Amino acid sequence: MITLQYKNHNLKIDAGELVGYNVDGHEYIHQKGSPGWRSSDTEMFPIIGPTAEAKFQVQTPRDIAVQDQHGLLREMEYELISQTETEVVFQKKYKAHAPVKNSKYPEKSNRKFLFWTYDFLFQKQFLLKESGLEITFIVSGERDSPFMLGYHPAFKLHSENPEIVAGKERISLDDILEVGSRAFEVPNCEEILLKDGKQLHIKTEGFGNFMLWTEVPNMVCIEPITFYPYAVKQWNLHEGFRYLEDGAKTFKVWITPMKP
């Protein structure tokens, strides 16, 4: 477990996963073991969305890849690159066509191993500042490599009627629950405000969209995404690809507790 501290901000990271963000005694991150989800944050890469109906196959410009839901990055372990009192950097490195064991096999998938058709290096950086938490993702690889990226943090809810504000749209927890497993789409949006007793501002750079998901009243996932996967059929997920233009792309998420 890695702990970062800046004044009254306390961050806990377990093997690259954000498992706690506490400010003045208030916990903002969903805790493992609580109802709703077995994790507290993860990344969706190099694809977002389910693939079972497409027989776990995703078409890339180079060849067909085998991917389970939300890609294979989450099946890989982070390597710690550097650490200070307020900043920590992790990375995952992948070689094209290397088999990655699928944790969903055999209960939820018939594919024991997954693979992608391109090399990539994925970095995740946490920086704790007086204003809040800054998370940076750097995707690098061959020029024109296809990918999607989604960040999947889960936030702990403390009030009975939390509300999410996205521009002029106000979204209730019931709105999100009603959509179910598909996740509530918030297109063309880079900032969201979670009003849950205390207010949490989430701002992004590079993603362009959000989706919201929960199945319980005690947590909500507010997920920056490059592409909403349910906009297309599973066998057409390649329509949502972005491409590395210069061999690297940076994405940012700022999580800022708002002062009363």
Task: Kindly report, residue by residue over 30-49, the tens digit of the pLDDT.
Answer: 999 999 999 999 999 999 99
201's enclosing H/E stretch is: strand 198-205
Contacts of 174 (CB under 8 A, 6+ apart): none
Q: How many angstroms separate the CA atoms of 213 and 177, rounded? A: 7
**DSSP label at 33?**
T
Q: What is the pLDDT of residue 246?
A: 82
pTM for this predicted structure = 0.96
Q: How many angstroms separate the CA atoms of 243 and 53, rounded? A: 25
Which residues of the chain have a pLDDT value below 50? none
Q: How many angstroms separate the CA atoms of 143 and 151, rounded? A: 22
Could you tell me if residue 112 is inside a domain? Answer: no
Report the domain count for the chain: 1
Q: What is the pLDDT of residue 247?
A: 78
| CATH number of 227's domain | 2.70.98.10
Domain of residue 21, residue span:
2-36+77-89+121-257
Could you tell me if residue 188 is inside a domain? Answer: yes
**DSSP label at 173?**
H
- What's the pLDDT tens digit per position in 109-127? 999 999 999 999 999 999 9
Q: Among residues 247, 200, 206, 250, which one has the least CA distance to residue 225?
A: 206
Phi, psi (5° rounding) for residue 188?
50, 55
Q: What is the pLDDT of residue 201?
A: 98
Could you tell me if residue 94 is inside a domain? Answer: no
* In the block, residue with structure tokens 């405000």: 193
Could you tell me if residue 181 is inside a domain? Answer: yes
Q: In the numeric block, which tokens belong to residue 65?
A: 């890849």
Could you tell me if residue 65 is inside a domain? Answer: no
CA–CA distances in Å: residue 117 to residues 152, 228, 245: 24, 22, 17
Q: How many angstroms separate the CA atoms of 65 and 205, rounded? A: 28
Could you tell me if residue 70 is inside a domain? Answer: no
Could you tell me if residue 66 is inside a domain? Answer: no
Q: What is the pLDDT of residue 260?
A: 67
Could you tell me if residue 135 is inside a domain? Answer: yes
Beta strands in 84-188 (DSSP E): 87-94, 100-101, 113-114, 120-128, 133-141, 146-147, 150-156, 163-166, 169-172, 184-186
Q: In the numeric block, which tokens belong to residue 83?
A: 């650490």
